[in-house]
Amino acid sequence: MRHVNIGLIGAGTIGKGVVDSIIENGGLVEERTGISIVLKKVCDKDEKILKEIPHLNGVVMTHNAYDIINDEEIDIVIELIGGEYPAKEFIINALKKKKHVVTANKALLSHHWKELFRTASENRVSICFEASVGGGIPIIRALQESFISNKIEIIYGILNGTTNFILTMMDDNGYSFEDALSLAQKDGIAEANPELDVSGKDSAHKLAILALLGFGVEISLENIYTEGIKDISFHDIICAKSWGYAIKLLAVAKRSSSGIELRVHPTLIAEGHLLSNVKGADNAIFVKGDFVGESLLYGKGAGRRPTASAVMADVVSIAKHIVYAGVEFIMPYNLLNSSASFPLVNIEDIMLSYYLRFSVTDKPGVLAKISTVLADNDISIASMSQEDRKEFQTVPVVMITHKAREGNMRKAVNAIDGMDFVKSKTVVIRIEE
């Protein structure tokens, strides 16, 4: 039996899952691959966390990541501390020590992928990151290997479990945003600080990685239009539902003749669409390639065991290369070679249908004024409803539009929001068909 030694930096939720996987399924991996994955060292700065790790035969526990990075016998370093720093320093130094690296760190990859891949390439080792997007869903491997001979046209989906859980609890169980978030935290789905998730930034980090793989272009996070779910009210969820839609936080990377569209925002999705039925902390990602057509990858987008499954997929893949194909790992997809370049489509130039909820005084002429402004901006109304008449009180008026240019929509809503009968900022939510 051949052995491949690994060191784990970061023994939190996912790190514990990796240890559990080695304990529970290490034998299975041995049977299937003829390779024993040996956990040699575990590092965490928190003594309490280290104490919770089962003390396996011969595994050394340390607070110093360099005990792993400088260990000549370790072949693969797993980085699961998250965040940019000091994770970046640990990974760069591990690569320079000619160790393969497995990471789930989407924030780090989306900001520094070029430096990381270049260092890996110069040192003829690999950096693998299946766990960075979609938890246990094998989307990275699908883009790097299964769809490699396709021109990717579109990648879109639900990339964040926390926000999908919150929106599901609001939609299915009538929870407020705050109560749904508390439950997500209590159930261990949301982080103690959920800002990255609810602001849409976590989805943007993941979309940057997928777009990089799908389109071979360098994506800078500033170029991804990002809106989170904090402003989604229960009222809008109910209204959308009555029109036959669910609200989801959608991440979209689309290639067209005018360039690449990159955006993360709450979106109305028709109830018949597969994505509208992705519930709880699940994720789902559609990929459309010119040969394969449309594929849907669906599964657990977060959590200890699903994410550990993705980490172990990378570990075993590298281990097989070390044992059977020589020490050098062949990058399945050489991003550093990519010569692709596409202009980015400005968010103002995208064409979508929109859900609009106006809060207006119920008096004669209001609708006429709203529709005139919309018409002046080339926006056509597809359907409309107003709640019970309450003369001279504030009522919600909801409209669904036909496809319109985002820039025109912004101009129109801005003008409408300046009118005296508008009582609060108009809610605008994009619709994906």
- Tell me the binding residues: 9-16, 106, 191
Instruction: Sort strands 2-9 and 76-79 into parallel, antiparallel or unpaired.
Output: parallel
CB of 42: closest distance to ligand HSE in angstroms?
A: 21
Residue 129 near residue 104 (C-beta atoms within 8 A): yes
Instruction: Sort strands 60-62 and 35-43 into parallel, antiparallel or unpaired.
Output: parallel
Residue type, 376: D
User: What is the full DSSP assignment across 123-141?
Assistant: TT--EE-GGGSSTT--HHH
Residues sharing a CB contact under 8 Å with residue 278, sequence separation 6 or more, in sequence order: 158, 164, 248, 284, 298
Closer to ligand HSE by Cβ: residue 119 or 309: 309
Does position 160 interact with ligand HSE (CB under 6 A)? The reply is: yes
Q: Which window, 117-125, 160-168, 409-417, 423-431, contacts ligand HSE (CB under 6 A)?
A: 160-168
**Alpha-carbon separation of residue 46 from 7, 41, 52, 116 (angstroms):** 16, 15, 10, 26
# residues contacting ligand HSE (CB under 6 A) = 8
Radius of gyration of the chain (CA): 24
Q: How many Å apart are CA 9 and CA 24, to the nearest integer?
A: 20
CB of 14: closest distance to ligand HSE in angstroms?
A: 9
CB of 161: closest distance to ligand HSE in angstroms?
A: 3
Active-site pick, 41, 206, 248, 288:
206
- Give binding residues for NADPH as ranges: 106
Does position 302 interact with ligand HSE (CB under 6 A)? The reply is: yes
Closer to ligand HSE by Cβ: residue 188 or 244: 188
Task: Sort residue 135 into left (φ over 0), alpha (ψ -120 to 50) or beta.
Answer: left
CB of 297: closest distance to ligand HSE in angstroms?
A: 15
* Residue choice 44, 197, 261, 406 for contact with ligand HSE (CB under 6 A): 197
Does position 301 interact with ligand HSE (CB under 6 A)? The reply is: yes
Does position 161 interact with ligand HSE (CB under 6 A)? The reply is: yes
Residues sharing a CB contact under 8 Å with residue 227, sequence separation 6 or more, in sequence order: 200, 264, 265, 266
206 is catalytic: yes
Closer to ligand HSE by Cβ: residue 17 or 289: 17
CB of 107: closest distance to ligand HSE in angstroms?
A: 9
Which residues belong to the active site?
A: 206
Provide the binding-site residues for ligand HSE, judged by CB under 6 A.
160-162, 191, 197, 202, 301-302
